[in-house]
Amino acid sequence: MAISEQTLESMRDIVTRYPQSRSALLPMLHLVQSAEGEVTPEGIAACADMLGISKAEVTGVSTFYTMYKRKPVGEHHIGVCVNTLCGLLGGDAVYEALSERLGVGHNEPIADGKFSLERIECQAACTHAPVMTVDWEFMDDVTPSSAVDVVDRLARGERVESTRGPAIRNFQASEHTLAFPDDGLAGEGNSVDDKMLAGLRYAKEHNMAAPQSGQEA
Ligand code: FES
């Protein structure tokens, strides 16, 4: 489907933010996903035309980063971290429970297009492992049953709060935020908690500091 004039206008707006236009490619691809639900061939062509680079270069970027999807994602993207800490604390069991509930495996959209499921890498959120993401918003300290409950509530159209961010919207809305971060939601939901600050507290108590530039650690 052709990229709309409104989306093209927003792409031009993103390009103006960067001294070197090709630096705009990552948010432009998120914008394409917010409008199209995936990175389409037309979206790739539009990015290439606007930035004066080849479609092969845009395709290379969109296939390198796993946040860019080359097939429809569905209304909600569910990510389950199965890296070391989350895996050890139950991430694999969470993934299996969700896969059974949704009847879908890794990166396979379900028949009604509502949910996609993906095993994801470490989200730098290990303090609250195991974690899952819903449309890239965090759900911390999940269990197989709490993860399935989140999906059930979303399927019923209920409001679901992320554990350190705003209420869940949908995949395309979150993708728009990745293109235009000033979405007015930064103050919503919980942010840093005591557990996340434990390392900083320990460092202060022991007078630890990062080495100055050029010093050995
Ligand atoms: S291992 Fe899952 S967030 Fe780090």
The mean predicted confidence, pLDDT, of the chain is 94
Question: Are 115 and 84 part of one and the same domain?
Answer: yes
Average pLDDT over residues 40-61: 97
Question: Are 96 and 140 part of one and the same domain?
Answer: yes
Question: Are 82 and 126 part of one and the same domain?
Answer: yes
Q: Measure 20 CA to ligand 1 centroid, in angstroms.
A: 33
Spell out which residues line ligand 1, taking CB within 6 angstroms: 81, 83-86, 122-123, 125-126, 129, 131
pLDDT-derived band at 217, boundaries 50, 70, 90: low
DSSP 4: P
Query: Which of 149, 170, 191 is the endpoint of a domain?
Result: 170
Question: Are 166 and 117 part of one and the same domain?
Answer: yes
Question: Are 59 and 97 part of one and the same domain?
Answer: no
Question: Are 52 and 84 part of one and the same domain?
Answer: no
Closest CA to 49 of 24, 68, 75, 78: 24
The predicted structure's pLDDT at residue 191: 74
Q: How many independent structural domains does the chain possess? A: 2
- The yes-or-no verdict on residue 62 having pLDDT over 70 is yes
Q: Measure 8 CA to ligand 1 centroid, in angstroms.
A: 36
What is the pTM assigned to this prediction?
Answer: 0.90
**Residue of 80, 83, 140 best suited for mutating to test ligand 1, as the one with most atoms within 8 Å of CB:** 83
- The yes-or-no verdict on residue 174 having pLDDT over 70 is yes
Instruction: For residue range 135-167, list pLDDT tens digits in order.
Output: 999 999 999 999 999 999 999 999 999 998 899
Question: Are 112 and 53 part of one and the same domain?
Answer: no
CATH number at residue 25: 1.10.10
Q: Which atom of ligand 1 is nearest to the CA of 91?
A: 2
Question: Are 59 and 94 part of one and the same domain?
Answer: no
pLDDT-derived band at 215, boundaries 50, 70, 90: low
Question: Are 151 and 91 part of one and the same domain?
Answer: yes
Question: Are 80 and 46 part of one and the same domain?
Answer: no
Question: Are 103 and 48 part of one and the same domain?
Answer: no
Buried b (16+ CB within 10 A) or exposed e, 61-81: bbeeeebbbeeebbbbbbbbb
Q: Measure 84 CA to ligand 1 centroid, in angstroms.
A: 7
- Tell me which residue range forms the domain holding 129: 76-170
